[in-house]
Amino acid sequence: MSEESIRANHTAYNMQSWSKQKGLNPVVVEKAEGIYLWDPSGKRYTDMSSQLVNMNLGHGNKAIVEAIKAQADRYCYISPSYASEPRGELAKLLVSLLPDTFGKIFFTNAGADANENAIKIARMFTGRNKVLSRYRSYHGSSFGAGNLTGEPRRYALEPGIPGFIHFFDPYVYREPVNFASDKEAVDYYIHKLREQVLYENPPTIAAIVLETVTGSNGVLIPPEGYIQGVRKICDEFGIMMICDEVMMGFGRTGKMFAFEHWGVKPDLISFAKGVTCGYIQLGGVAVSSKIAAYFDDRLLSCGLTYSGHPLACAAGIAGVTYLIENKLLDNVQERGAELKQILNGFKEQYKVVGDVRAIGLMSAVELVRDKKTKEPVVSYGQDPEGTMKKINGELVKRGFMTYTHENMILVAPPLIITKDQLAEELSKLGEALAVVDSWY
Ligand SMILES: Cc1ncc(COP(=O)(O)O)c(C=O)c1O
């Protein structure tokens, strides 16, 4: 098919996520390999967001493709009530990577339904109803996960579900006060959260759900002690701690799971994206042995036709094994340190860069009109002049593909990126930032 026909079908018949449908002009992808994509004219683009921060192993990973083919030759689907080798093997592999308190996995189709089921399981286990989550969070767009979500992608679901309560994030850069230390910040945030828990009547709260490191809402890396503080509140009141590791899990931050940075053991973990790197969609909820045992004699009232789809599980085993065998966490830590250093340089160099935050190969560049006032280049939830689209255009022009959120550019390349590739791409980002600098 011609490039024009492919684009015409896309715009005429397909409804594109999170977009006004008129005037779309998507890049047509002809092929993809490693960290690169090509359009039909042969122009090369670099995938600096790993698509939606899911293609952690990049495009065309042979181990995953071969595993899917081999499983497809055996059988493609079998219902969740049959024992299937890839389903059981992947569950066993994942439990082996989790803290020793973890027992079982409930597989889902993706991240949103992983969170839906995590809440459901926490509610059944505790017999409580309320769930607390943060404003600057994205947990998926289905009804329950969309209500957990705090940012504007929640608004279309309002009025919200009763008992879904939001609290503020440790967004240190945007506080009206300057904390003298991480400890001072943590004392403040944990005090406020504990206060809110008390006001909400603790025996009614089933779970606190949080992205261990906030992803698309600005890569908010919790100050040292924060995650431990949330754990302590959960322990004090018998509340389940649910870590949403959909974006950060499977190596993105330099550890297999982000909560490992702070030595805590959550009660439930939702995951998706990096488990199969998007080769086939898959998500899941990991639960502690205690929660798993609760359902030994009680009905697990959760179900999905495709829970533990054999093709997806085969992809998951191959992808996670590849990540481990190729020691990619080392690469994430090494490249991550370079990424952080270069972005910090941009913060010094460009007046439009208000803040940068990076952990492993997950980072955000926060753009402001004025470094002193921290006025963002676009207001919260609004961009009537298409400023961020224009800024993204400067990146696309240079073949640097990523996405922006509010006033931030997210940079999250595949975990296989090399030192030279990273340096080459970040120099393109620097060029684009220099152009944006000249606008203000
Ligand atoms: C932290 C987090 N949780 C949940 C989701 C929802 O996952 P999905 O789009 O696979 O439903 C996302 C998607 O970006 C996410 O980043």
DSSP 344-369: HHHHHH-TTEEEEEEETTEEEEEEEE
Encoding tokens for residue 248?
A: 């950060």
Q: What is the reported pLDDT for 29? A: 97
At 215-227, the pLDDT tens digits run 999 999 999 999 9
Instruction: Tell me if domain 62-325 and domain 327-439 are identical in fold.
Output: no
Residue the block writes with tokens 């590739």: 421
Pairing state of beta strands 36-38 and 44-47?
Answer: antiparallel
Average pLDDT, stretch 290-315?
A: 98
Q: Which CATH architecture has domain 327-439?
A: Alpha-Beta Complex (3.90)
> Domain 62-325 class?
alpha beta
- Asked if omega into 266 is within 30° of 0 (cis), the reply is no
Q: What is the reported pLDDT for 419? A: 98
Q: What is the reported pLDDT for 23? A: 93
Phi, psi for residue 369 in degrees, rounded to 5:
-80, -30
Using an 8 Å Cβ cutoff, are 232 and 223 in contact? Answer: no
Q: In the 8-state DSSP scheme, what is residue 191? A: H
Q: What is the reported pLDDT for 414? A: 98
Above 90 in pLDDT, residue 130? yes
What is the DSSP secondary-structure string of 238-302?
A: T-EEEEE-TTTTTTTTSSSSGGGGGT---SEEEE-GGGTTTSS--EEEEEEHHHHHHTTSS----
User: Looking at ligand 1, which atom is closest to the CA of residue 140?
Assistant: 6
Average pLDDT, stretch 118-122?
A: 98
Using an 8 Å Cβ cutoff, are 208 and 132 in contact? Answer: yes
User: Looking at ligand 1, which atom is closest to the CA of residue 113?
Assistant: 11
Collapse the DSSP code of 122 into the 3-class scheme (helix H, G, I; strand E, B; otherwise coil) and give the result: helix
**Atom 3 (ligand 1) nearest CA:** 139
Selection from 92, 53, 83 nearest residue 284 by Cα: 92
- Cβ(112) – ligand 1 distance below 6 Å: yes
Instruction: Compute, in angstroms, the gap from residue 246 CA to the centroid of ligand 1.
Output: 6
Q: What is the reported pLDDT for 116? A: 98
Q: At what angle do helices 310-325 and 328-349 cross, to 10 degrees?
A: 80
Instruction: Compute, in angstroms, the gap from residue 141 CA to the centroid of ligand 1.
Output: 8
Average pLDDT, stretch 391-405?
A: 96
Q: What is the reported pLDDT for 349? A: 97
Q: What is the reported pLDDT for 279? A: 98
Average pLDDT, stretch 351-377?
A: 97
Encoding tokens for residue 400?
A: 């640097």
Helix %, strand %, coil % for the chain, to 5?
45, 20, 40
Tell me the Ramachandran region of residue 232: left when phi exceeds 0, alpha when psi lies from -120 to 50, beta otherwise: alpha
CB atoms within 10 A of CB 407: 25
* Displacement of CA 358 from its chain's centroid (Å): 14
CB atoms within 10 A of CB 62: 9
Percent of all residues in the chain with a pLDDT value above 90, rounded to a whole number:
99
- Cβ(54) – ligand 1 distance below 6 Å: no
73 contacts: CB under 8 Å, gap ≥ 6: none
The pLDDT mean for the chain works out to 97
Collapse the DSSP code of 59 into the 3-class scheme (helix H, G, I; strand E, B; otherwise coil) and give the result: strand
Instruction: Compute, in angstroms, the gap from residue 414 CA to the centroid of ligand 1.
Output: 17
CB atoms within 10 A of CB 137: 24
Q: How confident is the model at residue 340 (pLDDT cuts 50, 70, 90)?
A: very high
Average pLDDT, stretch 58-68?
A: 98
- Cβ(220) – ligand 1 distance below 6 Å: no
Distance, in Å, from the CA atom of 29 to the CA atom of 40, rounded to the nearest integer, reads 7
Q: Which residue type, as a one-letter code, is found at position 352?
A: V
Q: What is the reported pLDDT for 392? A: 96
Q: What is the reported pLDDT for 61? A: 98
Question: What order do you get walking across the sheet with 240-244 strand by strand?
Answer: 102-108, 283-288, 268-271, 240-244, 205-211, 130-134, 164-167
**Atom 8 (ligand 1) nearest CA:** 111
At 8-45, the pLDDT tens digits run 999 999 999 999 999 999 999 999 999 999 999 999 99
Distance, in Å, from the CA atom of 415 to the CA atom of 253, rounded to the nearest integer, reads 10
At 171-217, the pLDDT tens digits run 999 999 999 999 999 999 999 999 999 999 999 999 999 999 999 99
Testing ligand 1's pocket by substitution, the residue of 17, 55, 113, 138 carrying the most ligand atoms inside 8 A of its CB is 138
Distance, in Å, from the CA atom of 98 to the CA atom of 104, rounded to the nearest integer, reads 10
Phi, psi for residue 187 in degrees, rounded to 5:
-55, -45
Distance, in Å, from the CA atom of 147 to the CA atom of 335, rounded to the nearest integer, reads 35
Element of type H or E holding 424:
helix 419-439
Encoding tokens for residue 328?
A: 């990619």
Q: What is the reported pLDDT for 381? A: 86
User: Residue ranges of the domains in the chain?
Assistant: 62-325, 327-439
Average pLDDT, stretch 230-242?
A: 98
Using an 8 Å Cβ cutoff, are 388 and 407 in contact? Answer: yes
Could you tell me the pTM of the whole model?
A: 0.97
Percent of all residues in the chain with a pLDDT value above 70, rounded to a whole number:
100
Q: What is the reported pLDDT for 129? A: 98
